[in-house]
Amino acid sequence: SSSPAVLTCKAAVAWGPGEPLVIEEVQVSPPQPMEIRIKVVCTSLCRSDVSAWETQAIFPRIFGHEASGVVESVGPGVTEFSEGDHVLTLFTGECKTCRHCTSGKSNMCQVLGLERRGVMHSDQKTRFFIKGKPIYHYCAVSSFSEYTVVHSGCAVKVNLAVPLEKICLLSCGVAAGLGAAWNVADISDGSTVVIYGLGTVGLSVAQGAKVRGASQIIGVDINPEKGEIAKTFGITHFVNPKECNESIQQVINQITEGGADYAFECIGDTGMITTALQSCCQGWGLTVTLGVPKVHPELTAHYGTFLSGRTLKGSLFGGWKPKSDLPSLVDMYTKKEIQIDEYITHNISFEDINQAFSLMKEGKCLRCVIHL
Ligand code: APR
Ligand code: ZN
């Protein structure tokens, strides 16, 4: 086929921090070597998009990183994808050749890892323009656009039969939570689990813990409305810190008779990491952090916490190697071994994308799926 040209389409552009997105006509460059251009079908809004939009300094910018779509064209050298393939985007890629990709121990790709400067990995430039002016990317995905360009290592092919409007959630939040439970913590049968923060991430940890046969899955959230919905994902006890007379760690220590086997921080509040550690049992208690703090990135903990045998573990994307491992999660969804649909509280048309931001800021949604 002839080589792809610049195309013009609609994109939701963020012009400044916290400013409502504006649907604009943007020019999208053809895919460069080893890149693909994708027609985005669905993208869900993740807490990280909202946090970055509120706090970061790189603008104008196209956010969005949890997405599914169809390959529109491929750049020079791409053999893995062809026009019409269905894909999920990856906010952290996998080159399959670097030290980390070949280690068997890490998903922290040194070539296509988390991109923070708003440009493409290969040439530090953008693929979006308005009247010749660059519009920056987010996580080298930028799915709040009808078309986007990503590195071929930052997308994974999926079966044509799976519904793109559901599996976009596997691009980030749901997969991160399941991976934290299965890969990072490796929760064992009959164990006790406490989860701080019952958004999509925390409730995906809950689902993962339930699949592994945890005996107690305690959910902690300051939003009282989370108690009811959390039960459908396996939460056995709901604790609202606002309604506790004792400290949260005391409450957890009572329920679990001496501390949970596993604690997960899914809020993005480093103070809660300290609390999570204190609610784990001595000897083998493991705290896993998933939240991305907006402020106060440093954490405090008494060294005795660790001297008595507790562990603190971090991970990105639940430890999954994104390209290698996501197809198996998609298969599990197809076989109804994991739930995804239940996290979708709202379906929103692209023109109404700002509603999704409002719903998330107000704590009124789990995932909003935006249909392009
Ligand atoms: N104590 C308990 N719960 C809290 C607190 C607190 N101090 N502050 C917030 N929460 C709850 C909110 O009420 C909400 O239910 O934490 C939950 C967070 O959920 P979402 O905002 O829906 O976020 P989610 O998409 O699940 O992501 C959680 O993981 O990937 C990161 O950047 C992401 O840091 C964020 C975290
Ligand atoms: Zn790599």
Q: What percentage of the chain's residues is helix, strand, coil (to nearest 5)?
A: 30, 25, 45
Please report, in angstroms and rounded to a whole number, the separation of the first and last CA atoms in the chain: 26
Q: What is the pLDDT of residue 345?
A: 97
DSSP, res 132? T
Q: What's the pTM? A: 0.96
pLDDT along the chain (372 residues), means of 10: 89 98 98 98 97 95 98 98 98 97 96 96 97 98 98 97 97 97 98 98 98 98 95 97 96 98 96 96 97 88 96 96 97 97 98 98 97 98
Q: What is the pLDDT of residue 1?
A: 54
Contact 342, 233 (CB under 8 A): yes
Q: What is the pLDDT of residue 293?
A: 87
Contact 326, 348 (CB under 8 A): no
Q: What is the pLDDT of residue 296?
A: 85
CA distances for 220 relative to 195, 294, 314, angstroms: 6, 20, 20
Contact 168, 42 (CB under 8 A): yes
Residue nearest to atom 13 of ligand 1 (CA): 223
Ligand nearest 90 Cα, by number? 2
Q: Residue 52's closest CA among 351, 370, 346, 292?
A: 292
Residue nearest to atom 24 of ligand 1 (CA): 199
Rounded to 5°, the CA angle 257-200-182 comes to 60
Q: Given the structure tokens 């164990």, which residue do they identify?
A: 191
Distance between CA 289 and CA 184 in Å, rounded? 10
Distance between CA 181 and CA 338 in Å, rounded? 13
Ligand nearest 221 Cα, by number? 1
Give the number of other Cβ atoms within 10 Å of residue 46's Cβ: 26
Cα 79 to middle of ligand 2, angstroms = 18
Distance between CA 12 and CA 353 in Å, rounded? 8
Which residues are near ligand 1 (CB < 6 Å)?
Answer: 46-48, 51, 173, 196-202, 220-223, 226, 241, 266-269, 290-292, 363
